Structure 1
């Protein structure tokens, strides 16, 4: 029995902005996390704010930007349990103050992708 190279996973790198190199899995993870419109809005709000932002303030800012969503409390739950953990796992954001606030990670790869969508 022979094994096929098609089933073997190789770690490869891809060229990023300014000659930075990224592991291909990271690129895929960032694409995945930014595929959701709410997470893109989260990144843009945090990027514009600049400092660590309380999750409740982030939810209030999103409620203004999302049509039909006027309940910051529901957004806070969604952020804490779905969106922020995914963004944090890829290094796009950092939770601070024991999870009470969040800060954008200022990632060049994210910036490049956000310019395209």
Structure 2
């Protein structure tokens, strides 16, 4: 995943999540894909639309491009699921902040989660 360490100015989550919570957060494929993308952002900030597009790209990496109508429907489903399920769950866990007015997401670094996230990324996508 990321080759360089985040700068010291990057904000991090205040508490260390339990291992049970980490594995619960990583258990869902779309949530993992969203975290892979957010972790790669230099400042940890992205729009919900960018997260959606990247989750769709991860899902379609092995099947090739979808027909445009199918891709748009897939993105609508992903975005709805992100807004109503995954982003609130990650926010409740203190992993990110979702500003619904600006439709942006700010990921807070979390070393315990990132250790397992990197492992999952390498097992799943490389």
Q: Same fold (TM over 0.5)?
A: yes
Structure 2 residues without counterparts, runs of 5 or longer: 1-14, 64-69, 121-126
Point out the structure with max Rg over C-alpha.
1
Q: Which has the higher contact order (CA 8 A, sep 6+)?
A: 2
CA separation in 2, counterparts of 1:91 and 1:77?
21
Matched length: 95
Q: Secondary structure, in 3 states, of the residue corresponding to 1:46? A: helix
CA separation in 1, counterparts of 2:103 and 2:53?
14
* Match status 1:88 vs 2:80: no
Q: Is the 8 A contact 2:16 2:110 kept in 1?
A: no
Residue 54 (structure 2) aligns with: 61
CA separation in 2, counterparts of 1:63 and 1:22?
29
Q: Secondary structure, in 3 states, of the residue corresponding to 2:33? A: helix
- Greater fraction of residues in strand: 1
Structure 1 residues without counterparts, runs of 5 or longer: 1-20
1:54-106 per-residue CA deviation (whole Å, 9 max, x = no partner) reads 10121111111113672322211010011111111111111136361111111
Q: Which runs of structure 1 show a deviation greater than 2 angstroms over 4 or more consecutive aligned residues?
A: 67-71, 96-99
CA RMSD of aligned residues (A): 2.2
